[in-house]
Amino acid sequence: MQWAKLHSKARYNLATSGVGAYPLAELPFTRDQLEINGDNSYGYAPLQQAIAKKNDVEPACVVEAAGTSMANYLAMATLLDPGDEVLIEQPTYELIVSAAQYLQAKIARFPRREENNFALDPNEARRAVTPRTKLIVLTNLHNPSSVLTPESTLGEIGDIARSVNARVLVDEVYLDAVYENTPRSAFHLGDNFIVTNSLTKVYGLSGLRCGWILAQPDLARAMHQLNDLFAATPVYPTELLSVIAFQHLDKIRNRARQIVEADRALLAQFLDANKSHLTSVRSPYGTTTFPTLLRGNVADLLAKLRNQYETTVVPGRFFEMPDHFRIGMGVNTEMFAAGLHRLTRALH
């Protein structure tokens, strides 16, 4: 996160993970719709309802949180005591592992193998689960590869968890970047599923920090209570803006979709043209891809890319795969094309 905040920016920034920022000027609202303080002790009811409606759940299952970041932390902090065993996919979003470490959980991993196209393989989870496992954690779409896990596989993971009385936490922050037949939330797959999400990555609304957890009502209440220690109450003005955003969600998503799809077409050409240097699992979904560098050293390549070509990508070491790097799409197609061109030159 520190690297992302301090070192990822460049003129040609392919080190992104979500789409470009949605401008406030394009959100239709008037000044009198905003206020600083309001009735939101355990969430602002209209926002709870908007989140519930989007996910087809009861408002009692919704816990607001400051982004998926706080949602993941609050969910894990509620579910895990020090020493509890948590089983996390590998590779994954680094902050999931470090949040579990901070909570002093005992961390076990199960692989998503590149030779298996980073697919989530229930057999790997079955091998790694123990009677002490409390929680299985995964991302869908997968960060870094953007691979989609089908509902049937998620159901198998749910069964494996249930067999040891564990729960499954699914981070769905990228799921709406499946633009056609967008899957429903894994929350619907059983009462041992907990889901986290936000309007950050697919909608370009990171600044609203509109995140949420979906959990069974008793767990949701426990999360609300724990949140009394952390954020206490949500930020009211951005709750109001988030309700307005929910009213225009399709339009907001479609704006970014056009950029993501144009970028994905360029990415395909780039990968085809650089087969002797790179190989990458290609997902038709999402905003990131995670190539392997076939020859040479990623750290050297990335230093050259930054220093000579003003271009950044995310080092694979943040995903425990140092011979990889992650490319992000969906911000600005002109910049993306120029960044890929520079990456090609650096590779050659």
Supply 113's token pair.
């193998």
169 beta partners:
137, 194
Indicate the residue among 68 and 280 with the shorter CB distance to ligand PLP: 68
Output 48 or 197, the one with its CB closest to ligand PLP.
Answer: 197
Residue nearer to ligand PLP on the CB measure, 8 or 153: 8
Q: Which residue's CB is nearer to ligand PLP, number 144 or number 291? A: 144
DSSP 3-state of 238: helix
CA distance 124 to 120: 8
- Give least dist CB 295 to ligand PLP, A: 28
- In angstroms, rounded to a whole number, what is the distance separating the alpha carbons of residues 268 and 280? 10
Rounded to a whole number of angstroms, the minimum distance from the CB of residue 129 to ligand PLP is: 22
Interaction site with ligand PLP (CB under 6 A): 17, 67-69, 93, 139, 143, 171, 173, 198, 200, 206, 211
Of 211, 154, 157, which is closest to residue 183 (Cα–Cα)? 154
- Cβ of residue 77: shortest distance to ligand PLP, in angstroms? 15
Q: Rounded distance, CA 86 to CA 346, Å? A: 40
CB count in 10 Å sphere of residue 233: 17
Judged by beta carbon, residue 291 or residue 342, the one nearer ligand PLP is: 291
Q: Which is nearer to ligand PLP, 143 or 216 (CB)?
A: 143
CB of 197 to ligand PLP, least distance (A): 8
What is the spatial distance between Cα 250 and Cα 293, in angstroms, rounded to a whole number? 37
43's CB contacts (< 8 A; 6+ apart) are 62, 63, 64, 224, 234, 239
Which residue from 138, 82, 136 is spatially nearest to 106, judged by alpha carbons?
82
CB under 8 A, 24+ apart: contacts of 184-189: 184/55, 184/56, 184/151, 185/55, 185/56, 185/57, 185/214, 186/140, 186/151, 186/154, 187/55, 187/57, 187/61, 187/214, 188/56, 188/57, 189/151, 189/154, 189/155, 189/158
CA gap 55, 176 in Å, rounded: 11
**Closest distance to ligand PLP from the beta carbon of 165 (Å):** 26
Q: Which residue is nearest to ligand PLP (CB)?
A: 67
Phi, psi (deg, nearest 5) at residue 160:
-60, -45
Q: For residues 5 and 31, which CB has a smaller minimum distance to ligand PLP in the complex?
A: 5
What is the nearest approach in angstroms of ligand PLP to the Cβ of residue 242?
Answer: 12
What's the min distance (Å) between Cβ of 344 and ligand PLP?
26
- What minimum distance in Å lies between the beta carbon of 144 and ligand PLP? 8
- Of 88 and 347, the one with the shorter C-beta distance to ligand PLP is 88
